[in-house]
């Protein structure tokens, strides 16, 4: 792993939103080193299982390492148990990894299971907090203004997608460490993890 990956921070805006029947999850693309925009297309949204996603804010090297570890652990669990890992189980696993060896990251574990859609925010020391929606990273104060105004229980998938896109767009307009586009995905019990195309994201922002 290069020295640049260790020092390059993702700055970041990431979001997870529950809706009736699933969750929407997203992240921006920008990575910064201080005031320098080091990369405009960093991956901060990772599929770690058919029903699970991870978003990362923090050091790029730590984030990439965690995504590989979690993907492998989830696959191993499902192979042994012959059933999907619950979202709470994935959050607990992630928290245990971080409490054993802290990483410079702030994470969201987002997904669906038999109990519905869930969003867990996990801090660098392994604290795990469930919520109906959550934003992380330097852009989160701007995102929460949009989320608190627009979120409601049992939203439709279309409403949740539009809210997530609006929140990420707002952070990209106001937070210097966030921006350069976004990734969005939807997770539902029937379809699992589905990435949203960039064309569809452009339509959501119109």
H-only helix segments in the chain: 3-7, 60-81, 87-100, 140-150, 157-174, 198-204
Mean pLDDT (whole number) for 49-71: 87
Q: In the annotation, is 136 catalytic?
A: no
The catalytically annotated residue of 12, 14, 94, 136 is 12
Q: What ranges do the domains of the chain cover?
A: 3-204
**Among 3.40.1160.10, 3.40.50.300, 1.20.81.30, 3.60.20.10, what is the CATH number of 3-204?**
3.60.20.10
Residues 35 and 16: their CA atoms lie apart, in Å, by 27
Convert 130-161 to b/e letters by CB count within 10 Å (16 or more is b).
Answer: eebbbbbbbbbebbbebbeebbeeebeeebbb
pLDDT digit string (tens) for 125-141?
778 899 999 998 878 88
143 three-class SS: helix
Listing DSSP states for 120-134 in one string gives: EEE-TT--EEEESEE
pLDDT digit string (tens) for 102-159?
666 688 999 999 999 999 998 777 788 999 999 988 788 889 999 999 999 999 999 9
Residues 45 and 102: their CA atoms lie apart, in Å, by 20
Report residue 30 CA to chain centroid gap: 14
| Tally of CB atoms within 10 A around 100 | 8
Q: What angle do CA 151, 176, 158 make, to 5 degrees?
A: 25
On the question of pLDDT at 5 being above 80, the answer is: no
On the question of pLDDT at 204 being above 80, the answer is: yes
Residues 51 and 195: their CA atoms lie apart, in Å, by 12
Residues 64 and 69: their CA atoms lie apart, in Å, by 9
On the question of pLDDT at 34 being above 90, the answer is: no
Task: Give the per-residue pLDDT at 181.
Answer: 73
């Amino acid at each position: 792993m290069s020295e640049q990956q260790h020092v390059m921070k993702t700055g970041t805006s990431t979001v997870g939103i529950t809706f009736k029947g699933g969750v929407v999850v997203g992240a921006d693309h920008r990575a910064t080193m201080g005031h320098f925009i080091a990369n405009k297309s960093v991956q901060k949204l990772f599929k770690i299982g058919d029903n699970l996603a991870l978003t990362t804010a923090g050091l790029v090297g730590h984030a990439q390492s965690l995504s590989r570890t979690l993907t492998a652990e989830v696959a191993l669990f499902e192979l042994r148990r012959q059933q999907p890992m619950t979202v709470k189980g994935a959050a607990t696993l992630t928290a245990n990894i971080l409490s054993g060896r802290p990483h410079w990251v702030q994470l969201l574990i987002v997904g669906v299971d038999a109990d519905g859609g869930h969003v867990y925010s996990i801090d660098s020391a392994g604290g795990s907090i469930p919520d109906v929606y959550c934003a992380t990273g330097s852009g989160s104060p701007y995102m929460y203004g949009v989320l608190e105004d627009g979120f409601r229980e049992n939203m439709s998938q279309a409403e949740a997608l539009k809210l997530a896109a609006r929140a990420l767009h707002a952070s990209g307009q106001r937070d210097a460490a966030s921006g350069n586009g976004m990734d969005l995905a939807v997770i539902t019990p029937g379809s699992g993890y589905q990435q949203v195309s960039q064309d569809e994201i452009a339509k959501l922002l119109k």
